A = this chain, B = another copy of it.
Amino acid sequence: MVDQAAPVRRLRRAERREQILDAATRAFARHGFADTGLDDVAAEAELTRAMLYRHFESKADLYRAVLDRSCARLIETTGSGDYDDRAIPALVEAASGDPDGFRLLFRHAAREREFRDLTSFMAVASRELAHRNLARVIPAGPWLEWAADLIPVLTVEAVIAWLDAGQPDPGQAPERIAAAVQGVIDAARAPIRWPAE
């Protein structure tokens, strides 16, 4: 008995490209570039490997396209401007709107040498932004550098942990994350531990 004929949905070039990017984002978000084969991506997109090559030159090209799009979306909703009260809410909104892309960018792409050119500018920018703002409340010295390194990482990890927790209380999330950041700022100001209750 022959299998029921597969539906085989056909899309126009641009749509198919987007659908491949969606699937590739999901696939790469699991284990990063090196540990994800094109077969994995093809399976996730429910396509043949050959199809991927009709839309992208190579595996690296596809990955760059994925990263570019996630990056563009991120900047689009965060504005990438100065730090203000909108910064953390915007980051939360961006993560909520594209969780796979968010995880991919910060958990994998940020540590992949070959593609650091696509992400390092964000890491540098957020570190410098943090440094500028912290310099007003933390005395210059190694603990200022420590906080400037740690706060961007903490912010991103706090957002990812919020995603992993099921995105509870979207309205409260930015305030809670900001409070966690404030904890690092306090810690960098003085080595006095909060009195035990």
Contacts and interface: CB of A to CB of B under 8 A. Distances in A.
A153 B160 CA distance: 11
Contacts of A161: 146, 149-150, 153
Contact of A175 (B113, B157, B191): B191
Contact of A192 (B112, B166, B175, B188): B175
A42 interface: no
Contacts of A111: 31-32, 107-108
A171 to B, nearest CB: 8
Contact of A35 (B112, B169, B192): B112
A177 B175 CA distance: 21
Secondary structure of the A side of the interface?
helix
Contact of A180 (B31, B107, B165, B183): B183
A87 B180 CA distance: 21
A7 interface: no
A178 interface: yes
Interface string A90-118: 00000000000000000110011100000
B179 A187 contact: yes
28 contacts: A32-B111, A35-B112, A35-B113, A107-B111, A108-B111, A142-B165, A142-B166, A143-B168, A145-B165, A146-B158, A146-B161, A149-B164, A149-B165, A150-B157, A150-B158, A150-B161, A150-B180, A153-B157, A153-B161, A154-B154, A158-B184, A169-B191, A175-B193, A179-B192, A180-B184, A182-B183, A183-B183, A183-B187
Given A149-B165, A154-B157, A179-B191, 9 more contacts: A35-B113, A107-B111, A141-B168, A143-B169, A146-B176, A149-B161, A154-B154, A176-B191, A179-B187
